[in-house]
Structure 1
Amino acid sequence: MAIELRHLRYAVAAARHGSFRRAAEELGVKQSSLSRRIRQMEGRLGVTVFERLSSGVRLTPAGAEILRTSQHLVDGLEHMMASAKAAGRGEAGRLSIGFHTSLSAGNLRASLVEHARRFPEVEIRMVEVARENLLVGLRHGQLDIAIITGEPTVREGEAMALWSERIMVALPESHLLAINEIVYWTDLRSETFLLSHRDPGPELRDILLVKLASPKVAGQDVSRESIMGLVGAGFGVSLICEAGIGASHAGVVYRELQDGSGPSRISYAAYWRSDNDNAALLNFRKLLEERYPVPSS
């Protein structure tokens, strides 16, 4: 005597409208098909669910009891169907984003805020790990998209260029250079640079080696936050991407770094698997393309 949830759904709509015709119009099915399904349900139950009238239909006492006790099943089906449709449009579901930049300020933070405004039902899962772990996570399907420093390169999957950020120098607030709005690389020749072994420390170190021939670098196996703590305590200076300056650290000030060509910058790119059909990923990529379009040649 198995009854399909679809049949119950038809019956609920017919009871609500008091009409097979209007119920069929609401559900987008033929009236004859809806009527036939309800008769099949009545046959399996061995009771008459609806009394057929010239003006429409109404529930019999037995039908009213059947729908009352099965309403939670119909509600669950309606919710499941609505959720499935929303997920298919990328308006619900889950999106896993890997990154190794700061969320205290900057473009990634702004993009996440805008995405949450447009798609509040999408659950965002953020994963902050080293670059190589991000790429492994993409390959294994643990991440939908990874935001990585550097220009996009040829890899497995797809990539797009995003934004660039200024590179800032973090100084103790008592430092002589702290009174300047702009600091030049040549002003830092005699400084001790505190850089994390963790991302994006190695990339900042590479830029430092290009800008200064033989800088004094004190590598630290600590987080960016701990590096800033050491700067504030007067152990040296450090480099930080612009997105990180939204976080306040005691005794630390940030100044723009320039050379003869202007501000020094670091680029970001997004990577994802070409076979990832997560609709939420597609919407996030469209948002990134909208906010950071490729410059026309």
Structure 2
Amino acid sequence: MNLDLSSLRSVLAAAEHGSFRQAATALNIKQSALSRRIRHLEEQIGASLFERSSGGVRLTPAGVSMAQAGRRLFEEIDDMVRASQLADRGEAGVLKTGFGTAVSTSKVRTVLGEHIRSFPAIAIQVTERSPANLAAALGTGDVDVAIVAGEARQHSGPSMSLWSERIVAALSSRHPLSNSEVIEWSDLKDETFLLSQWDPGLDLRNLILKKLAAPGDAPKIETWDTSNEKVLGMVEAGLHVSVHCESWTSLAYPGVRFREIRDASGPSHITFTACWEEHNRSPALARFLETLRQAHYPTTLT
């Protein structure tokens, strides 16, 4: 059975006003048209919806049931329309985000928190993967946007430079240099560096080589296929030093001290990058990219 929504609206209006005439006026239609709609609906369901009298109309038990169901239906329709409008504006729906750096670090966490507070109807799915896996996920649509530290080498589509972070040394609290507020790159030339192969390991390795490599004298660098969190755990043991983005200083490692590294040109920095696919027309993605364009979050060393 196909119910005409205009007939159902006529039933609700007549129930509310207790009069076909007043209901027709409220709907801006002729009373005869309203009466035909209601009569047609009664014929469809095989039941009378109103008790008619010279004093007006009153719902029958069948009419009460129909009116209750009709109100619920129109509430659902209104919700559906609002949800569609929000989705069209990028204020609702699903956003699949991928990160090549830990989501728990301060700036990434702040960006997500700001977006969730601004658009609570958007469901954000988060995954942490290597840069190569994120590039593949962008191509398959498993991820709408990826944020990586350093250059997006495996991505050929559109990208956006985000915030820039200082590079800091991670030292055991027992290391002599941990007592200095700022250290020089040259102070680290005899150290053994431990880096994660995960993002932004390659950028950090290249930075160490740029700062410390000399003809016949390369710095000692070990790279492990493990997370940055585990690298910091090994630094805490006192066998290595490491370098990280300054946002990692927000994480608590009691036996690790973070210190800014400088040379004659000042502190070193690394820039975070957002990547996405040109063909992805998701309004939720467009809205999140706008949040990223407006994101400026300072970080303080501790």
TM-score normalised over the length of structure 2: 0.82
Q: Secondary structure at the match of 1:104?
A: coil
Aligned to 2:46: 46
- The answer for unaligned runs of 5 or more in structure 1 is 25-29, 293-297
In 2: Cα distance, 1:163 partner to 1:196 partner: 22
- Pick from 277, 283, 296: which aligns with 1:279? 283
Aligned to 2:260: 256
Q: Is the 8 A contact 1:171 1:238 kept in 2?
A: yes
Larger Rg: 2
Shift of 1:205: 0.8
Q: Secondary structure at the match of 1:288?
A: helix
Shift of 1:61: 3.4
Q: 4+ runs of 1 displaced by more than 6 Å? A: 51-57
Structure 2 vs 1, CA of residues 43 and 112 (structure 1 numbering), >3 Å: closer, same or farther?
Answer: same
Q: Is the 8 A contact 1:20 1:57 kept in 2?
A: no
Shift of 1:104: 3.3
In 2: Cα distance, 1:134 partner to 1:121 partner: 25
Listed one character per residue, the Cα deviations across residues 22-72 of structure 1 (whole Å, up to 9, x for unaligned) are 864xxxxx646x947655433422344356899986534321122335655
Aligned to 1:27: none
In 1: Cα distance, 2:56 partner to 2:183 partner: 82
- The answer for unaligned runs of 5 or more in structure 2 is 297-302
Structure 2 vs 1, CA of residues 3 and 144 (structure 1 numbering), >3 Å: closer, same or farther?
Answer: same
Q: How does 1:1-297 map to 2 (within 5 A)?
A: 1-3=1-3, 8=8, 11-12=11-12, 15-16=15-16, 20=23, 24=27, 31=29, 35=34, 38=38, 40-50=40-50, 59-68=59-68, 72-151=72-151, 156-213=156-213, 214-291=218-295
In 2: Cα distance, 1:125 partner to 1:102 partner: 14
In 1: Cα distance, 2:143 partner to 2:203 partner: 22
Structure 2 vs 1, CA of residues 55 and 291 (structure 1 numbering), >3 Å: closer, same or farther?
Answer: farther
TM-score normalised over the length of structure 1: 0.84
Q: Secondary structure at the match of 1:162?
A: strand
Judge which range, 75-84 or 274-283, deviates more. 75-84
In 2: Cα distance, 1:117 partner to 1:42 partner: 48
Amino acid at match of 2:236: G
Q: Secondary structure at the match of 2:279?
A: coil
Judge which range, 261-270 or 65-74, deviates more. 65-74
In 2: Cα distance, 1:90 partner to 1:53 partner: 51
Q: Is the 8 A contact 2:12 2:70 kept in 1?
A: no
| Percent of pairs with identical residues | 42
Aligned to 1:295: none
In 1: Cα distance, 2:120 partner to 2:204 partner: 35
